[in-house]
Structure 1
Amino acid sequence: MAKEKSTEDLLERLLASSTVDEYLSEGETLDRTLVSYLEELRERLGVKKAAVVRASGLNPTVVYDIFAGKSRPGRDHAIMLAFGLQCSLIETQRLLRLAGVAELWPKVRRDAVIIWCIENGKTRVECEDELWSRGEKTLLGTGPLKRAAV
Protein backbone atom coordinates (compact mmCIF):
# COMPACT_ATOMS: atom_id res chain seq x y z
CA MET A 1 0.00 0.00 0.00
CA ALA A 2 1.54 3.30 -1.07
CA LYS A 3 2.03 5.86 1.68
CA GLU A 4 -0.43 8.68 1.26
CA LYS A 5 0.11 12.24 2.34
CA SER A 6 -1.79 13.25 5.44
CA THR A 7 -5.04 15.15 5.12
CA GLU A 8 -3.46 18.01 7.07
CA ASP A 9 -0.56 18.26 4.61
CA LEU A 10 -2.92 18.21 1.64
CA LEU A 11 -5.14 20.86 3.21
CA GLU A 12 -2.13 23.13 3.72
CA ARG A 13 -1.16 22.70 0.06
CA LEU A 14 -4.72 23.35 -1.10
CA LEU A 15 -5.00 26.52 0.97
CA ALA A 16 -1.60 27.72 -0.27
CA SER A 17 -2.58 27.24 -3.94
CA SER A 18 -3.47 30.34 -5.90
CA THR A 19 -6.16 28.43 -7.80
CA VAL A 20 -7.99 25.17 -7.19
CA ASP A 21 -6.70 23.92 -10.56
CA GLU A 22 -3.12 24.39 -9.35
CA TYR A 23 -3.85 22.01 -6.48
CA LEU A 24 -5.87 19.55 -8.56
CA SER A 25 -3.08 19.32 -11.14
CA GLU A 26 -0.80 17.85 -8.47
CA GLY A 27 -2.83 14.62 -8.65
CA GLU A 28 -3.25 14.16 -4.91
CA THR A 29 -7.00 13.59 -4.90
CA LEU A 30 -8.41 10.07 -4.70
CA ASP A 31 -11.51 8.38 -6.02
CA ARG A 32 -11.20 5.50 -3.57
CA THR A 33 -14.21 3.45 -2.57
CA LEU A 34 -14.79 1.62 0.68
CA VAL A 35 -14.75 -1.72 -1.17
CA SER A 36 -11.40 -1.04 -2.86
CA TYR A 37 -9.88 0.10 0.44
CA LEU A 38 -11.13 -2.98 2.30
CA GLU A 39 -9.68 -5.22 -0.41
CA GLU A 40 -6.39 -3.33 -0.26
CA LEU A 41 -6.22 -3.84 3.51
CA ARG A 42 -7.18 -7.51 3.24
CA GLU A 43 -4.54 -8.16 0.58
CA ARG A 44 -1.90 -6.36 2.67
CA LEU A 45 -2.76 -8.68 5.56
CA GLY A 46 -2.71 -11.67 3.22
CA VAL A 47 -5.88 -13.29 4.55
CA LYS A 48 -9.16 -14.53 3.16
CA LYS A 49 -12.44 -12.83 3.97
CA ALA A 50 -13.31 -15.74 6.28
CA ALA A 51 -10.39 -14.73 8.53
CA VAL A 52 -11.66 -11.14 8.59
CA VAL A 53 -15.09 -12.47 9.58
CA ARG A 54 -13.61 -14.44 12.49
CA ALA A 55 -11.38 -11.62 13.73
CA SER A 56 -14.09 -8.95 13.41
CA GLY A 57 -16.85 -10.91 15.15
CA LEU A 58 -19.35 -9.85 12.50
CA ASN A 59 -21.90 -12.08 10.81
CA PRO A 60 -20.35 -13.58 7.65
CA THR A 61 -23.22 -12.33 5.46
CA VAL A 62 -22.68 -8.79 6.74
CA VAL A 63 -18.95 -8.90 5.94
CA TYR A 64 -19.42 -10.42 2.49
CA ASP A 65 -22.14 -7.87 1.64
CA ILE A 66 -19.86 -4.99 2.70
CA PHE A 67 -16.94 -6.36 0.67
CA ALA A 68 -19.27 -6.79 -2.32
CA GLY A 69 -20.52 -3.22 -2.02
CA LYS A 70 -24.09 -4.37 -1.35
CA SER A 71 -24.25 -2.60 2.00
CA ARG A 72 -22.40 -0.02 4.04
CA PRO A 73 -21.35 -0.71 7.60
CA GLY A 74 -22.59 1.36 10.48
CA ARG A 75 -19.96 2.90 12.72
CA ASP A 76 -19.51 -0.01 15.13
CA HIS A 77 -19.44 -2.55 12.29
CA ALA A 78 -16.79 -0.44 10.52
CA ILE A 79 -14.72 -0.37 13.72
CA MET A 80 -15.12 -4.14 14.05
CA LEU A 81 -13.95 -4.54 10.45
CA ALA A 82 -10.93 -2.39 11.26
CA PHE A 83 -10.06 -4.75 14.12
CA GLY A 84 -10.61 -7.73 11.81
CA LEU A 85 -8.18 -6.18 9.31
CA GLN A 86 -5.65 -5.23 12.03
CA CYS A 87 -5.81 -1.59 11.00
CA SER A 88 -3.64 1.12 12.47
CA LEU A 89 -5.43 4.18 13.86
CA ILE A 90 -4.86 6.10 10.62
CA GLU A 91 -6.24 3.20 8.57
CA THR A 92 -9.22 2.90 10.93
CA GLN A 93 -10.02 6.61 10.60
CA ARG A 94 -9.78 6.34 6.80
CA LEU A 95 -12.06 3.27 6.81
CA LEU A 96 -14.60 5.17 8.93
CA ARG A 97 -14.50 8.16 6.55
CA LEU A 98 -14.99 5.94 3.51
CA ALA A 99 -17.89 4.20 5.26
CA GLY A 100 -19.49 7.63 5.72
CA VAL A 101 -19.53 7.50 9.52
CA ALA A 102 -17.91 9.58 12.25
CA GLU A 103 -14.25 9.05 12.97
CA LEU A 104 -13.03 8.12 16.43
CA TRP A 105 -12.72 11.19 18.63
CA PRO A 106 -10.52 11.15 21.75
CA LYS A 107 -12.82 13.57 23.57
CA VAL A 108 -15.49 10.86 23.70
CA ARG A 109 -14.80 8.38 26.51
CA ARG A 110 -15.86 5.28 24.53
CA ASP A 111 -13.88 6.38 21.47
CA ALA A 112 -10.82 7.04 23.67
CA VAL A 113 -10.93 3.42 24.88
CA ILE A 114 -11.22 2.15 21.29
CA ILE A 115 -8.36 4.39 20.13
CA TRP A 116 -6.17 3.13 22.99
CA CYS A 117 -6.97 -0.47 22.07
CA ILE A 118 -6.11 0.08 18.41
CA GLU A 119 -2.85 1.85 19.25
CA ASN A 120 -1.87 -0.92 21.67
CA GLY A 121 -2.52 -3.78 19.25
CA LYS A 122 -5.54 -5.17 21.09
CA THR A 123 -7.97 -7.52 19.37
CA ARG A 124 -11.65 -6.79 18.97
CA VAL A 125 -12.40 -9.14 21.89
CA GLU A 126 -9.85 -7.39 24.10
CA CYS A 127 -11.38 -4.04 23.14
CA GLU A 128 -14.83 -5.36 24.09
CA ASP A 129 -13.43 -6.30 27.51
CA GLU A 130 -11.91 -2.82 27.95
CA LEU A 131 -15.22 -1.16 27.03
CA TRP A 132 -17.27 -3.49 29.26
CA SER A 133 -14.99 -3.00 32.27
CA ARG A 134 -15.49 0.76 32.01
CA GLY A 135 -19.26 0.60 31.69
CA GLU A 136 -19.22 1.55 28.02
CA LYS A 137 -21.36 0.05 25.26
CA THR A 138 -19.42 -2.70 23.54
CA LEU A 139 -19.01 -2.92 19.79
CA LEU A 140 -21.45 -5.82 19.69
CA GLY A 141 -23.88 -3.67 21.66
CA THR A 142 -24.05 -6.01 24.63
CA GLY A 143 -22.25 -3.90 27.20
CA PRO A 144 -23.74 -1.66 29.84
CA LEU A 145 -24.94 1.76 28.80
CA LYS A 146 -23.98 4.77 30.85
CA ARG A 147 -26.95 6.61 32.26
CA ALA A 148 -26.99 10.39 32.20
CA ALA A 149 -27.10 12.10 35.57
CA VAL A 150 -30.47 13.56 36.38
Structure 2
Amino acid sequence: MPLLQALVRCSLTTLFLGLCLQLITGQDDNERKPFIVKMSTMPSGKSNETVEIVCSVSTQARECIPFRFFLMTSRKTDCYPEPYTYEACMCQEDNERKFYWNFCSQRTVGVACVAEAINRTDLCEGIGYIPVKGNRSYDHEAYIVKK
Protein backbone atom coordinates (compact mmCIF):
# COMPACT_ATOMS: atom_id res chain seq x y z
CA MET A 1 0.00 0.00 0.00
CA PRO A 2 2.78 2.55 0.74
CA LEU A 3 4.13 1.96 -2.76
CA LEU A 4 0.74 2.78 -4.31
CA GLN A 5 0.45 5.97 -2.22
CA ALA A 6 3.94 7.05 -3.29
CA LEU A 7 3.09 6.51 -6.97
CA VAL A 8 -0.14 8.52 -6.65
CA ARG A 9 1.68 11.38 -4.88
CA CYS A 10 4.45 11.36 -7.49
CA SER A 11 1.90 11.36 -10.34
CA LEU A 12 -0.07 14.25 -8.83
CA THR A 13 3.10 16.23 -8.22
CA THR A 14 4.27 15.63 -11.79
CA LEU A 15 0.88 16.67 -13.17
CA PHE A 16 0.88 19.83 -11.04
CA LEU A 17 4.41 20.78 -12.09
CA GLY A 18 3.57 20.14 -15.75
CA LEU A 19 0.55 22.46 -15.56
CA CYS A 20 2.60 25.17 -13.85
CA LEU A 21 5.28 24.89 -16.52
CA GLN A 22 2.64 25.20 -19.25
CA LEU A 23 1.24 28.35 -17.64
CA ILE A 24 4.68 29.92 -17.28
CA THR A 25 6.25 29.09 -20.65
CA GLY A 26 3.36 28.51 -23.00
CA GLN A 27 1.00 30.94 -24.60
CA ASP A 28 -2.34 29.92 -25.91
CA ASP A 29 -2.16 29.78 -29.71
CA ASN A 30 -5.09 32.21 -29.85
CA GLU A 31 -2.97 34.84 -28.06
CA ARG A 32 0.02 34.51 -30.37
CA LYS A 33 0.32 37.31 -32.91
CA PRO A 34 0.93 36.18 -36.49
CA PHE A 35 2.65 39.50 -37.28
CA ILE A 36 4.24 42.22 -35.19
CA VAL A 37 4.89 45.24 -37.39
CA LYS A 38 7.01 48.23 -36.33
CA MET A 39 7.63 51.35 -38.35
CA SER A 40 10.62 53.61 -37.79
CA THR A 41 9.94 57.24 -36.97
CA MET A 42 8.84 58.90 -40.17
CA PRO A 43 11.11 61.77 -41.26
CA SER A 44 9.51 64.93 -42.60
CA GLY A 45 10.54 66.31 -45.97
CA LYS A 46 9.85 68.81 -48.71
CA SER A 47 7.37 68.25 -51.51
CA ASN A 48 8.61 65.48 -53.87
CA GLU A 49 11.73 64.89 -51.72
CA THR A 50 12.61 61.20 -51.38
CA VAL A 51 12.95 59.80 -47.86
CA GLU A 52 13.67 56.27 -46.62
CA ILE A 53 11.01 54.36 -44.71
CA VAL A 54 12.12 51.41 -42.59
CA CYS A 55 9.64 48.84 -41.30
CA SER A 56 10.21 45.56 -39.51
CA VAL A 57 8.13 42.43 -39.04
CA SER A 58 8.37 39.47 -36.68
CA THR A 59 6.02 36.72 -35.54
CA GLN A 60 4.95 34.78 -32.47
CA ALA A 61 3.21 32.06 -34.49
CA ARG A 62 4.62 28.55 -34.21
CA GLU A 63 4.04 27.85 -37.89
CA CYS A 64 5.71 29.51 -40.85
CA ILE A 65 3.51 32.08 -42.60
CA PRO A 66 3.86 33.25 -46.21
CA PHE A 67 3.21 36.98 -46.24
CA ARG A 68 3.16 40.15 -48.30
CA PHE A 69 4.70 43.34 -46.85
CA PHE A 70 3.79 46.68 -48.39
CA LEU A 71 3.08 50.39 -47.83
CA MET A 72 -0.37 51.95 -47.85
CA THR A 73 -1.09 55.66 -47.90
CA SER A 74 -4.14 57.64 -46.88
CA ARG A 75 -4.21 59.35 -50.28
CA LYS A 76 -2.46 59.16 -53.64
CA THR A 77 1.15 60.34 -53.46
CA ASP A 78 1.74 61.33 -57.12
CA CYS A 79 5.35 60.11 -56.91
CA TYR A 80 6.79 57.34 -59.04
CA PRO A 81 7.68 54.58 -58.90
CA GLU A 82 5.04 53.14 -56.58
CA PRO A 83 6.48 51.52 -53.42
CA TYR A 84 7.55 47.92 -53.98
CA THR A 85 5.66 44.99 -52.41
CA TYR A 86 7.78 42.26 -50.77
CA GLU A 87 6.73 38.63 -50.44
CA ALA A 88 8.52 36.27 -48.07
CA CYS A 89 8.14 33.55 -45.45
CA MET A 90 8.24 34.31 -41.71
CA CYS A 91 8.90 31.63 -39.09
CA GLN A 92 9.07 31.94 -35.31
CA GLU A 93 12.79 31.21 -35.23
CA ASP A 94 13.51 33.99 -37.74
CA ASN A 95 14.88 37.23 -36.39
CA GLU A 96 12.99 40.44 -36.97
CA ARG A 97 13.17 41.27 -40.68
CA LYS A 98 13.58 44.83 -41.93
CA PHE A 99 12.23 46.23 -45.18
CA TYR A 100 13.17 49.53 -46.82
CA TRP A 101 11.32 51.83 -49.18
CA ASN A 102 12.15 55.11 -50.88
CA PHE A 103 9.09 57.29 -50.51
CA CYS A 104 7.98 60.77 -51.57
CA SER A 105 4.82 62.84 -51.55
CA GLN A 106 3.71 66.29 -52.62
CA ARG A 107 1.63 66.78 -49.46
CA THR A 108 1.22 65.48 -45.90
CA VAL A 109 -0.08 61.91 -45.94
CA GLY A 110 -0.61 58.98 -43.57
CA VAL A 111 1.63 56.01 -44.29
CA ALA A 112 1.23 52.44 -42.99
CA CYS A 113 3.48 49.38 -43.20
CA VAL A 114 1.25 46.34 -43.68
CA ALA A 115 2.00 42.62 -43.25
CA GLU A 116 -0.65 40.32 -44.71
CA ALA A 117 -0.75 36.52 -44.82
CA ILE A 118 -1.09 35.16 -48.35
CA ASN A 119 -1.91 31.77 -49.83
CA ARG A 120 1.46 30.83 -51.37
CA THR A 121 2.99 27.43 -50.68
CA ASP A 122 6.18 28.14 -52.65
CA LEU A 123 7.43 30.81 -50.21
CA CYS A 124 7.64 28.52 -47.15
CA GLU A 125 8.75 25.33 -48.89
CA GLY A 126 5.22 23.92 -48.86
CA ILE A 127 4.70 24.21 -45.09
CA GLY A 128 3.17 27.68 -44.70
CA TYR A 129 -0.25 28.33 -43.24
CA ILE A 130 -2.63 31.27 -43.13
CA PRO A 131 -3.86 32.18 -39.63
CA VAL A 132 -7.63 32.24 -39.20
CA LYS A 133 -7.45 35.30 -36.96
CA GLY A 134 -5.09 38.27 -37.25
CA ASN A 135 -3.90 37.60 -40.79
CA ARG A 136 -3.13 41.31 -41.28
CA SER A 137 -1.19 43.71 -39.08
CA TYR A 138 0.13 47.24 -39.55
CA ASP A 139 1.85 50.24 -37.98
CA HIS A 140 1.37 53.80 -39.21
CA GLU A 141 2.84 57.30 -39.04
CA ALA A 142 2.21 60.64 -40.69
CA TYR A 143 4.60 61.86 -43.37
CA ILE A 144 4.63 65.64 -42.96
CA VAL A 145 5.57 67.77 -45.94
CA LYS A 146 7.27 71.03 -45.01
CA LYS A 147 6.46 74.12 -47.02
- TM-score, reference length from structure 2: 0.21
- TM-score, reference length from structure 1: 0.21
Which is richer in strand? 2
Which is richer in helix? 1
Structure (1 or 2) with the larger CA radius of gyration: 2
> Could you say which structure has the greater relative contact order, defined with CA pairs below 8 angstroms and 6 or more residues apart?
2
